Amino acid sequence: MKIRFTLNKQAIEIESQPDCRVVDLLREQLVLTGTKEACGSGECGACTILVDGVSKLSCLMLAAQLEGREIKTIEGMSVSEELHPLQKAFCDQGAVQCGFCSPGMVMASADLLQRNPLATRQEIRQALSGNLCRCTGYQKIVDAVDSMVQETRNKS
Amino acid sequence: MKRVVSPHTLEELWQVLEELPKASLMAGGTDLLVHLRDKGRKVDLILLERIAEMQHLEQQDGELVIGAMVTHQQLLDSPIIKKHLPVLAQAVSGLGSPPIRHMATIGGNICSASPAGDSLPPLYLLEAKLVLKSKLTSRTVPIQEFILGPSQTVLAKGEILAEIRVPVPAPISTTEGISTYCKVGQRKALAISIVSMAACLEMESDGTVRVAKFAWGSVGSKVMVFPELDKYLFGKKLTDDSLRELGMMFARQVTPITDLRASAEHRRALVSNLPLKLLAEFKG
Ligand SMILES: Cc1cc2nc3c(=O)[nH]c(=O)nc-3n(C[C@H](O)[C@H](O)[C@H](O)COP(=O)(O)OP(=O)(O)OC[C@H]3O[C@@H](n4cnc5c(N)ncnc54)[C@H](O)[C@@H]3O)c2cc1C
Ligand code: FES
Ligand code: FES
């Protein structure tokens, strides 16, 4: 079936099996391999994307659900070659080790900061509670998101 | 190839259901897709997510009406839920993780009929009624009668859960006294409950209990309520002794099983201790 949606601000139309999982559509058909798959069952958050601005799990979504929606993946965060400030914060704070969880972490953080730009550390932990990381121990990831909050606070 | 259809109205849904009578209904997909993947099965799917008549959340004379496709996050964001049914909000605030709450629906939680479903103990306690619709029929069933056992409901072929109706003010005050949901899981996030307790207590100004209602999750094949035991606290003050006694009475009545997450004995021990948590709640 033909599916039309917006992907990282570009309108696209693609032929796909309607029951193809979104994570497979992104990674295999569109070769956007930033979105990761680990558990495939909703438990780890590695496959997090934004659908109409809201974080969802692409391993538990079907291609047909994308029709008419606005999708953002990690590839849509940076503008041309410039990293998104949130991605920079992850690098600066040492929040990336093997990097497998990072795309999901960044997307979940983007969802949080959009809703709650002045999130507390507690709220950051809560917001990332569906994203597993086996490397960093989470502290530096929370630091990275918190550094964005501090920046917003200093600006206002 | 299997089909996936997205009707936009109930009218369209009835038509699709006639064309694809064997298709599975999918709400948020967080139970269904995991289940299909585990079984390695492919089926025709009817997506409910675009059906306009299933997304409402509003107060109608004496009732709060919640469309079956309302997500857990929408419940949390709703001022009417926060105001009238804080115990439900508390229960779904710990369901899964943020992205799961963005996708998963209250209707899906009810229709999955898991003894561990987090919205269920509050809905039992609040005497929720479920509106079931098919092309030609509409009936209203109390949640206690809707759920028959794990993954089993009274839904007939071609029938859907359309909306959930909860009386407001609630059958027991959820805003004065104590209203709480305690979930014991293996960890804080993404944990299916080992035992859960929803409790609402109305108190007199001197601290005696006027009315109390409890509902228990993960302690039997479905949510368990014991109206006779609830009465034990009426006219009593919340003390260590009264709550311990009550906890032991509940523990004798529940029928937990041993599974991967916990043994039956461990579950019983939790049941006998959980009411003690109310003491801390009351002292605030
Ligand atoms: C990682 C993870 C963590 C989870 N954690 C929790 C948790 O902590 N607590 C908890 O309670 N649950 C948890 N769940 C289970 C699940 O997310 C919830 O039960 C959720 O509410 C299901 O809703 P859904 O919309 O995704 O349902 P779906 O998966 O779409 O549907 C579930 C079932 O109900 C049927 N159905 C759905 N809606 C209707 C309707 N309106 N009419 C008729 N039939 C219908 C479907 O056909 C299907 O059989 C978790 C799931 C995952 C993957
Ligand atoms: S791969 Fe989707 S949540 Fe783990
Ligand atoms: S950096 Fe390796 S999993 Fe998080």
Residues of A in contact with B3 (CB under 8 A): 18
Same-domain pairing of B135 and B25 = yes
Q: Which of B207, B222, B227, B14 is nearest to B116 (CA)?
A: B222
Same domain, B10 and B135: yes
Span B244-265, mean pLDDT?
95
Q: How far is the CA of B234 from the centre of ligand 3 (A)?
A: 53
pLDDT for residue A151: 96
| Closest Cα in chain A, distance from residue B273 (Å) | 27
Distance (Å, whole) CA B177 – CA B10:
41
Which residues in chain A have their CB less than 8 angstroms from residue B2's CB? 18-19
Say if residue B284's pLDDT is above 80.
Answer: no
Residues A90, B54: Cα–Cα separation, whole Å: 40
Ligand showing the shortest atom-to-Cα distance for residue B106 = 1
Query: Same domain, yes or no, for B154 and B180?
Result: no
A2-76: CATH homologous superfamily?
A: Beta-grasp domain (3.10.20.30)
Q: Which residues of A77-99 are buried (b: 16+ CB within 10 A; e: fewer)?
A: beeeeeeeebbebbeebebbeee
- Calculate how far, in angstroms, residue A43's C-alpha sits from the geometric centre of ligand 3: 15
C-alpha B71: how far from its chain's center?
13
Over residues B124-152, the pLDDT tens digits come to 999 999 999 999 999 999 999 999 999 99
Residues B153 and B130: their CA atoms lie apart, in Å, by: 12
Q: Flag whether pLDDT at B6 surpasses 90.
A: yes
DSSP line for B222-279: S-B--HHHHGGGTT-B--HHHHHHHHHHHHHH------SS--HHHHHHHHHHGGGHHH
**Which ligand is closest in space to the CA of residue B184?**
1
Q: Tens digit of pLDDT for each residue in A2-46?
A: 999 999 999 999 999 999 999 999 999 999 999 999 999 999 999
Residues B202 and B250 reside in one and the same domain: yes
CATH assignment at residue B229:
3.30.390.50
The distance from CA B203 to its chain's CA centroid, rounded to whole angstroms, is: 25
List chain A residues with CB under 8 Å of B1.
17
Q: ipTM score of the complex?
A: 0.97
Judge if B141 and B199 occupy the same domain.
no
Dihedral sign from CA coordinates of B146, B148, B150, B156 = negative
Q: What is the pLDDT of residues B162-217, one digit of tens each?
A: 999 999 988 888 777 899 999 998 877 778 899 999 999 999 989 899 999 999 99
pLDDT given for residue A30 in this prediction: 98
Closest-lying ligand to the alpha carbon of A132? 3
Q: Whose CA is nearest to atom 43 of ligand 1?
A: B160
pLDDT at B16 over 90: yes
pLDDT computed for residue B174 by the predictor: 76
Q: Which residues of chain A are in CATH 1.10.150.120 domains?
A: 85-155
Q: Of all atoms in ligand 3, which is nearest to the CA of residue A96?
A: 1
* Domain-ending residue, one of B147, B167, B187: B167
B227 and B155 fall within a common domain: no
pLDDT of residue B187: 78
pLDDT digits over A73-113, tens only? 999 999 888 999 999 999 999 999 999 999 999 999 999 99
Q: What pLDDT does B112 receive? A: 98
- Co-location of B131 and B27 in the same domain: yes
> Does residue A118 belong to the interface with chain B, where contact is any CB pair within 8 Å?
no
Q: Are residues B209 and B161 in the same domain?
A: no
Give residue B189's pLDDT: 73
Evaluate if residue A114 carries a pLDDT over 70: yes
Tell me what pLDDT residue B70 has.
Answer: 98
Confidence band, pLDDT 50/70/90 cuts, at residue B23: very high
In sequence order, the 6+-apart residues with CB closer than 8 A to the CB of B49 are A65, B6, B26, B27, B28, B69
Q: Tell me which of B167, B189, B215 is where a domain ends.
A: B167
- Supply the CATH number for residue B93's domain: 3.30.465.10
Same domain as B244, residue B150: no
Q: Mean pLDDT for chain B?
A: 95
Domain boundary among the residues B143, B167, B191 is at B167
The pLDDT confidence band at residue B75, using thresholds 50, 70 and 90, is very high
Average of per-residue pLDDT across B52-71: 97
State which residues form the domain around B198: 176-283
pLDDT at B100 over 90: yes
The boundaries of every CATH 3.10.20.30 domain in chain A are 2-76
pLDDT score, position A117: 97
Q: Which of these CATH numbers, 2.60.40.2250, 1.10.150.120, 3.40.50.300, 3.40.50.2300, describes A85-155?
A: 1.10.150.120
- The verdict on the CB of residue B17 being under 6 Å from ligand 1 is no
Q: What is the mean pLDDT of residues B52-67?
A: 96
- Indicate whether B145 and B189 sit together in one domain: no
Are B253 and B134 contained in the same domain?
Answer: no
**Single-letter code of the amino acid located at B175:** T
For A53, nearest residue in chain B (alpha carbons):
B102
- Count contacts between A and B (CB, < 8 Å): 72
Q: Count structural domains, chain B.
A: 2
pLDDT at residue A134, rounded to an integer: 96
Q: What is the pLDDT of residues B32-49, one digit of tens each?
A: 999 999 998 889 999 999
CB-closest option in A40, A45, A54 to B37: A40
Question: Ligand 2: which of A27, A57, A129 to mutate, most ligand atoms within 8 Å of CB?
Answer: A57
pTM exceeds cut of 0.90 = yes
Same domain, B132 and B191: no
